[in-house]
Structure 1
Amino acid sequence: MSDTPDTPKEAVKEERAAEAAAIRRRWITLGEVLAVLAVVISGLTLFLNWSDKQDERADKIAERAAASRKASSRATALVLNARSVKDDRIAIGTTDPDKVVQSQTILFPRALGIAPVDTTGDPRIEAGWFESALKKARAKAKLPDDSVGDERLPVAITTRFVVGGDAHETVALYDIGYGIAGRWIAGHSLSLRGLSRVETLKSGSAQAAVDARWARLTGR
């Protein structure tokens, strides 16, 4: 008995079954792709969240470091001013009441030929320290007998102070304001006017900065 060929109905059934199997295989493949994509997206999301947190931590660390540097800068920065002024004496104070001056060293231009002056516990400038030397230096520089406005004497002031229980030291260039009147034969009178900050200095360059400013102010 010979085999009989498939009937058209059976052929259609087989073709439909094959198509259905192929569709199922495609759906399985698509499902696998979607699953892989879901895993990738989930991993990427986790990485981005982790990266954001790392950036936030880095930003916070940078902010804390900046705040610490700013606080340290505020602690070490010092501005002196004249608390009271008399003709022969300037009482010195700080612009920050939390900073307590312990001692100071005041450095004068070499042209005056006088040694630095040290103070302890009483920050001040006294005309008697430099009056005679200043008059001689002005005469040598051929400066006018009388002040038109306030004259300036540059000095470097090294200040040792305490803030929050910590000791600090800073060096800055200041101008002592003064007036002078009289004649060389009859003598001159010197009157102190005040104190003005010029700039922060490094300890090793303080004398050179004072001398350079004196030269500019006197034209020598």
Structure 2
Amino acid sequence: MSETADQAATRRRWVTLAELVAVAGVLIAAATLYLNWSGRRADEAARAAQATSTEHARGVVTLLGTVADGGDALALADSEHVFSAATVTFPKALGVAPQDALPGPRIMSDWFADALLKANEGSDARNGRLPVLISVSWWDGDTKHSQTGLYDVLWRTESRFLRGRKLALTGLTLASRNGTAAALEAAWQRKRAAAKK
């Protein structure tokens, strides 16, 4: 039985319609695949950015100094880190060797009191800032980290009847997260020049 011209045209329309539906299905599947891939890349990028931000935050140290022992010491603390090493370095002009700040960590006034009082002879009652480098190390899992910051040790002198002057520590402020020996010496020179005015 041969098909009529109308039947052949109808059959061709159905074949064409089936082809169009198949092509549309392939396009929809491709668009879905692309959207899923794009969404996964965006999620991975967001996770990587979050991990980098968290890693950076874990690598930043900001020491806080709390007055202890009536001004004879500053207890150093950073809530995010437990330090395995801490060293305080003083300006060369004071002639004070670098000091190990552990256990604690802490800064003791007797490390540099005599040298600082000698460098600031004159009036009995003074306030000032002593630039120091504080180098700390800590472990994060199996990775050792270290950072050296430039800090100012805040101090004041107190006059004592018949016993001269006493140095009291009053606080600690961060001057720069990237401390170097050159920055320490430059900060010391600036503070000495300002004190002479």
Shorter chain as normaliser: what TM range?
0.7 to 0.9
State the alpha-carbon separation in 2 of the partners of residues 73 and 81 from structure 1: 19
TM superposition shift of 1:87: 2.3
**Partners of 1:81 and 1:95 within 8 A in 2:** no
1:101 equivalent in alignment to 2:83: yes
Task: Show structure 2 runs of 5+ residues with no match.
Answer: none
Unaligned runs of 5+ in 1: 1-19
Residue from 148, 171, 175 that aligns with 1:171: 148
Match for residue 80 of structure 1 among 43, 48, 63: 63
Please tell me the root mean square deviation across aligned C-alpha atoms, in Å: 3.0
In structure 2, relative to structure 1, the CA distance for the partners of 1:208 and 1:32 (3 Å cut) is farther
> In structure 1, what is the Cα distance between the partners aligned to 2:134 and 2:53?
24
Question: Are 1:112 and 2:94 counterparts?
Answer: yes
Alpha-carbon distance in 1 for matches of 2:16, 2:123: 95
Secondary structure in 2 matching 1:120: coil
**1:142-157 maps to which residues of 2 (within 5 A)?**
146-147=125-126, 150-157=127-134
Aligned to 1:59: 42
1:1-220 equivalences in 2 (<5 Å): 21=5, 27-28=10-11, 30-85=13-68, 86-96=70-80, 99-138=81-120, 146-147=125-126, 150-162=127-139, 167-181=144-158, 187-201=164-178, 206-219=180-193
Match of 2:148, as an amino acid? V
Instruction: Give the C-alpha shift of residue 167 in structure 1.
Output: 4.1
- For the residues of structure 2 that align with 1:32 and 1:218, how far apart are their CA atoms? 94
Distance 1:48 1:189, change over 3 A: same
Return the offset for 1:209.
Answer: 1.9
CA apart distance, 1:128:
1.5
The Cα shift of 1:38 comes to 2.3
User: Contact 2:153 / 2:173 at 8 angstroms: preserved in 1?
Assistant: yes
How far did residue 155 of structure 1 move? 1.1
| Partner AA of 2:74 in structure 1 | I
User: What displacement does 1:49 show?
Assistant: 1.0
Q: Following TM superposition, by how much is the alpha carbon of 1:192 offset from its aligned partner in structure 2, in angstroms?
A: 0.6
Deviates more, 1:87-96 or 1:32-41: 32-41
Shift of 1:137: 3.5
Q: Distance in 2 between matches of 1:190 and 1:174?
A: 18
User: How far apart, in 2, do the equivalents of 1:44 and 1:117 lie?
Assistant: 71
Q: Residue 61 of structure 2 aligns to a residue in which SS? A: coil
Letter in 1 for 2:193: G
TM-score by length of 2: 0.77
Shift of 1:163: 5.1
Is the contact between residue 90 and residue 131 of structure 2 (CA under 8 Å) also seen in structure 1?
Answer: yes
Aligned partners of 1:100 and 1:163 also within 8 Å: no
The 2-side partners of 1:63 and 1:105 are apart by 38
Following the alignment from structure 1 to structure 2, what is the Cα–Cα distance between the partners of residues 162 and 120? 15
Contact map agreement 2:101 2:107 (CA 8 A) in 1: no
One-letter code aligned to 2:185: D
In our comparison, the structure showing a higher alpha carbon Rg is 1
Counterpart-to-counterpart distance in 2, 1:106 and 1:24: 97
